[in-house]
């Protein structure tokens, strides 16, 4: 049992690149997903998985890291990048009926997808997506799958079947322990993600990616998408973009001008 091969699932989300303007579109006010990339917070989850499996001999020793994404056909790019970085295989849940799914519908479909991967030791996720930013999918998945839930891990260790993590909250720093199987979400403090190298990019071409539909997961269209969601966005307004105000160059009295500005704004 000690140090047996691991079966790890890493959630990877294909999200609009925050370097560009992002928009809500359509009657349901859902996110425009063109110009998307692998969520950078998921790179920490992938690194955490690869570090654990590397320590047990990697893919050669039978360790499996599955990069799982849910999204339109284009979301396959998130899986591809994960395979280039080092994931062993990919699983892509895609179905037109999924569009507009809220967290509840998304976690339902992800849980069903994870169940197709056999007994899983660890599900690892990022601390949040960089688009929805709610951080609720990890907790909902743990609840749906009946896994120990360790969220916001800023460090992660595995000893035999005991997983330990540090969770730095505002008031406390906690050390959390669980026995596998578990779900862990990791923060951007947890590690330094590796980049894909040339060898990895070549190797990725030979790795298996399985694409599944809702029917393959035993779900109906009405379980997910807008129909299966339990929340609605009923209004949305774009905030006017911030514009630059007064910019001065210090010529010896900028500190005083700063105080003048604060006084004019009644902030001192």
Ligand X SMILES: Cc1cc2nc3c(=O)[nH]c(=O)nc-3n(C[C@H](O)[C@H](O)[C@H](O)COP(=O)(O)OP(=O)(O)OC[C@H]3O[C@@H](n4cnc5c(N)ncnc54)[C@H](O)[C@@H]3O)c2cc1C
Q: Smallest distance, Å, CB 159 to ligand X?
A: 28
Instruction: Dig out the tokens for 6 from the structure.
Output: 């691991």
Region class of 76: left (phi > 0), else alpha (psi between -120 and 50), else beta: alpha
Q: How many residues bind ligand X (CB under 6 A)?
A: 3
| CB neighbourhood size of 99 (10 A) | 15
Is residue 40 close enough to count as binding ligand X by CB under 6 A?
Answer: yes
| CB 181, min distance to another protein, A | 9
| Closest CB 233 distance from another protein, rounded Å | 5
Q: Which residues of 212-244 are buried (b: 16+ CB within 10 A; e: fewer)?
A: bebeebebeeebbbbebbeeeeeeeeeeeeeee
41 touches ligand X (CB under 6 A): yes
Least distance to another protein from the beta carbon of 51, Å?
19
Q: Is 119 helix (H, G, I), strand (E, B) or coil?
A: coil
Among residues 178 and 212, whose Cβ is nearest to another protein?
Answer: 178
The listed partner (ligand X, another protein, none) that binds 1, CB under 5 to 8 Å by sort, is none
155 binds, among another protein, ligand X, none (CB under 5 to 8 A by kind): none
Q: What's the rounded Cα separation, in Å, for the pair 187 and 235?
A: 31
CB of 188 to ligand X, least distance (A): 5
How far apart (Å, rounded) are the C-alpha atoms in residues 94 and 263? 56
Tokens 């030979």 belong to which residue? Answer: 206
For residues 173-202, which are near ligand X according to CB under 6 A?
Answer: 188
Q: Which is nearer to another protein, 96 or 253 (CB)?
A: 253
Looking at the Cβ atoms of 134 and 162, the one nearer to ligand X is 134
Q: Which of residues 125-184 bind ligand X (CB under 6 A)?
A: none
Candidates 92, 101, 103; CA nearest to 140 is: 103
**Would you tell me which residues interact with ligand X (CB under 6 A)?**
40-41, 188
């Amino acid at each position: 049992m000690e140090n047996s091969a691991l079966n790890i699932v890493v959630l990877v989300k294909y999200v609009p690149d925050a370097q560009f303007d992002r928009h809500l579109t359509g009657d349901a006010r859902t996110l425009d997903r063109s110009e998307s990339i692998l969520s950078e917070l998921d790179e920490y989850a992938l690194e955490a998985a690869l570090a654990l499996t590397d320590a047990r001999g990697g893919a050669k020793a039978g360790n499996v890291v599955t990069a799982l994404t849910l999204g339109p056909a284009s979301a396959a790019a998130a899986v591809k990048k994960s395979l280039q970085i080092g994931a062993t295989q990919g699983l892509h849940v895609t179905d037109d009926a999924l569009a507009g799914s809220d967290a509840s519908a998304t976690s339902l479909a992800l849980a069903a997808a994870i169940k197709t991967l056999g007994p899983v030791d660890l599900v690892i996720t990022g601390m949040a997506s960089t688009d929805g930013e709610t951080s609720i999918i990890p907790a909902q998945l743990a609840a749906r799958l009946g896994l120990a839930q360790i969220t916001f891990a800023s460090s992660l260790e595995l000893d035999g079947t005991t997983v330990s993590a540090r969770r730095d909250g505002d008031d406390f720093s906690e050390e959390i322990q669980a026995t596998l199987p578990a779900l862990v979400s990791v923060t951007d403090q947890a590690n330094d993600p590796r980049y894909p190298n040339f060898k990895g990019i070549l190797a990725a071409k030979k790795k298996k990616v399985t694409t599944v539909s809702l029917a393959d997961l035993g779900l109906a269209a009405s379980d997910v998408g807008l129909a299966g969601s339990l929340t609605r966005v009923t209004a949305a307004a774009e905030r006017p973009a911030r514009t630059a105000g007064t910019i001065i160059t210090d010529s010896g009295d900028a500190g005083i001008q700063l105080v003048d500005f604060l006084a004019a704004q009644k902030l001192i």
